[in-house]
Amino acid sequence: MPADSLFIQLPTDSPCVMIEFEGQPLAVPSGISVAAALLASGIRQTRRTAVSGAPRAPYCMMGVCFECLVEVNGVPNCQACMVTVSDGLKVRRQQGARALNALAEEGAHDGI
Amino acid sequence: MHKTQTTVIGGGLLGMATAYGLARLGQKVCVLDEGDTAFRASRGNFGLLWVQGKGYGMAPYARWTRQAVALWPELASLLLAETGIDVQLRQSGGFQLCLSEAELAEEVRRLQWLKDELGDYPFEVLRNAQLSQRLPGVGPAVVGACYSPMDGDVNPLKLLRALHQACQLQGVHLLSGDKVMGIEAGDNGFVVTAGEQQVRSEQLVLAAGLGNRELGAHLGHAIPLQPSRGQILVTERVEPFLSHPTSTVRQTDEGTVQLGDSAESVGFDDGTSTAVMADIADRAVRSFPRLGNVRLVRAWGALRVLTPDGFPIYQSLSKAPGAYLLSCHSGVTLAAIHALRLAPWIAGKIALPEVAAFALDRFNFAPEVRHAG
Ligand SMILES: Cc1cc2nc3c(=O)[nH]c(=O)nc-3n(C[C@H](O)[C@H](O)[C@H](O)COP(=O)(O)OP(=O)(O)OC[C@H]3O[C@@H](n4cnc5c(N)ncnc54)[C@H](O)[C@@H]3O)c2cc1C
Ligand code: FES
């Protein structure tokens, strides 16, 4: 999955945590956002848009543009730049619009 | 000084629809629009083409609204052909969801009044069980609904953009960013001043939303307009789940869901308030429980342009021959009739006896105040 990253990871003392992207394990520094972790790992596409299906990746990195939407631990449409990585976090691409029923019974938004 | 045949003040839905209609008839038109600091209902509305209930207490407005939606397919296809913009016209019929017996009874009473006045006025009253089959996903809190095949919706921002683009393609001159501060009426027409710009024209159309109060005063006319604030919430994009618009919950062509329909008298404050947003969200979730865990991504307030009786004003101004005053709520619903009938009337191309019902002088006799949805 990881390819050459366009970003250079500055030296850091932070310990690594393990997250998963589309089922592949990634070792990333703790304390950074999911969006930063994905970009630093060389991932070029993190979602497809709901309107045209175009591939997209994180852009503003500050919660404004909604380009970084991913599924985090089964919760759709999470802004990857607003979620901090933690051990075991499972991230998937947001493929278009989310389904409405997916979470109806669980009310699973609270965890994020 | 810029010279033109007709100056339109206001670049919202009413001004642009009128400018487009005039330009299609071959007129030279210049539109002056104040810009982002003005109150602009056309950028904050709900996008409904709503007929049911409109014109309760004033049958001519009910007829006008029906005529407007009948013209909508023509406007949508003109805009598509000229600009390539699909404004997402959907005339599928719409539902007014009622969350109590009292709400339903009141709605039915109004629609029955309209049916008695107009004769042909199609609507159905559905109880929850029938409604659930027609509109899957409605919650048990919805007592019933009125359905009317006359209702529909569009994407109102695409509409505004399409009108702007179509106007420019038709040669309309658009000057934006300056507020009109002065109007001089003389024997040779009008001179309008906005910032450094001056425009001279034979005809003048005031279509400046709430700004019409001030502009009317320049020409010696008191224009009774008041703001009424509506707040709107918008959700994240979800897969299509709602096949028809309702008056409080509407899924847009791009997947977001708009929730709204509040009305407050708070003067010229177009902000939002927690209590009203909570009410809107609560009503939406009771209407469609599946919305319960959908994220909200945006909220805003916008000011309706309301006359004392809630109906439009279309008036050729007696103290300034050649000047027309246009004000309306429901400028989305009425966009097609403004472009395709009102503009030809202003251009002197057609007689339009219907507009007599929307004269300014009706307020000298009936200063009744009510909200007209
Ligand atoms: C919350 C809300 C929901 C709504 N929902 C619906 C709906 O579902 N369906 C529907 O049909 N209608 C709806 N409406 C109503 C609809 O939005 C309005 O009727 C319509 O936008 C009015 O258009 P307008 O051009 O008259 O006014 P505006 O959009 O207010 O435009 C007036 C323009 O005039 C300009 N202006 C003002 N003063 C001056 C000046 N002195 N000089 C130069 N320019 C000036 C401003 O810049 C502005 O662009 C809603 C309105 C609101 C607020
Ligand atoms: S990158 Fe813009 S909102 Fe996350």
Q: How far is CA A18 from the centre of its chain?
A: 13
Whether residues B258 and B280 fall in one domain: yes
At A2, the pLDDT band (50, 70, 90 cuts) reads: low
Total structural domains within chain A: 1
Between vectors from CA B213 to CA B210 and to CA B214, what angle results, nearest 5°?
110
pLDDT at B73 over 90: yes
Whether residues B131 and B9 fall in one domain: no
Q: What is the rounded distance in angstroms from the CA atom of residue A73 to the CA atom of residue A79?
A: 13
Residue with tokens 């966009």: B335
Interchain CB distance below 8 Å, A104 and B239: no
The pLDDT assigned to A1 comes to 53
Q: What is the rounded distance in angstroms from the CA atom of residue B116 to the CA atom of residue B121?
A: 8
Whether residues B105 and B244 fall in one domain: no
Domain-embedded: residue B367: no
Per the structure, the complete domain to which residue A40 belongs is given by 16-97
The pLDDT assigned to A6 comes to 80
Whether residues B320 and B302 fall in one domain: no
CATH number, residue A90: 3.10.20.440
Interchain CB distance below 8 Å, A77 and B290: no
Whether residues B135 and B166 fall in one domain: no
Give B296's contacts in chain A (Cβ within 8 Å): none
In one-letter notation, the amino acid at residue B31 is V
Domain-embedded: residue A104: no
Residue from the list B241, B255, B295 with its beta carbon closest to the beta carbon of A109: B295
Whether residues B301 and B318 fall in one domain: no
Per the structure, the complete domain to which residue B129 belongs is given by 94-149
Residue B13 tokens, joined: 């839905």
Q: Is A42 helix (H, G, I), strand (E, B) or coil?
A: coil
How large is the average pLDDT for residues B263-289? 96
Mutual angle of helices B59-83 and B101-118, in 10-degree steps? 90
Whether residues B333 and B210 fall in one domain: yes
How large is the average pLDDT for residues A50-71? 96
Whether residues B233 and B302 fall in one domain: yes
A33: closest CA of chain B, how far (Å): 20
pLDDT at A78 over 70: yes
pLDDT at A103 over 90: no
The count of residues in chain A is 112
The pLDDT assigned to B368 comes to 47
Q: Which of B306, B324, B343 is the last residue of a domain?
A: B306
Pick from A49, A100, A105 the residue to mutate for testing the B interface (most B CBs within 10 Å).
Answer: A100
Whether residues B217 and B313 fall in one domain: yes
Strands (E), chain B: 2-9, 29-33, 48-49, 94-98, 124-127, 144-148, 152-153, 173-176, 180-186, 189-194, 197-206, 226-235, 249-251, 257-259, 296-306, 313-316, 323-327
Whether residues B117 and B130 fall in one domain: yes
Question: Which backbone phi and psi does B241 adopt, to 5 degrees?
Answer: -135, -10
The pLDDT assigned to B1 comes to 87
pLDDT in tens, B16-25: 999 999 999 9
Percent of chain B with pLDDT over 70: 98
Whether residues B133 and B170 fall in one domain: no
Domain-embedded: residue B77: no
Pocket test for ligand 1, best of B161, B329, B342 (most atoms within 8 A of CB): B329
Mutual angle of helices B156-169 and B59-83, in 10-degree steps? 60
The pLDDT assigned to A109 comes to 46
Total structural domains within chain B: 3
Strands (E), B99-178: 124-127, 144-148, 152-153, 173-176
pLDDT at B39 over 50: yes
Domain-embedded: residue B53: no
Residue from the list A97, A106, A107 with its beta carbon closest to the beta carbon of B238: A97
Single out the residue of B211, B174, B175, B209 nearest to residue B195, CA to CA.
Answer: B175
Count of other CB atoms within 10 angstroms of residue B10 = 29
pLDDT at A112 over 50: no
Whether residues B119 and B177 fall in one domain: no
How large is the average pLDDT for residues B128-152? 97
Domain-embedded: residue A107: no
The answer to whether B157 faces chain A, any CB pair under 8 Å, is no
Q: How far is CA B50 from the centre of its chain?
A: 9
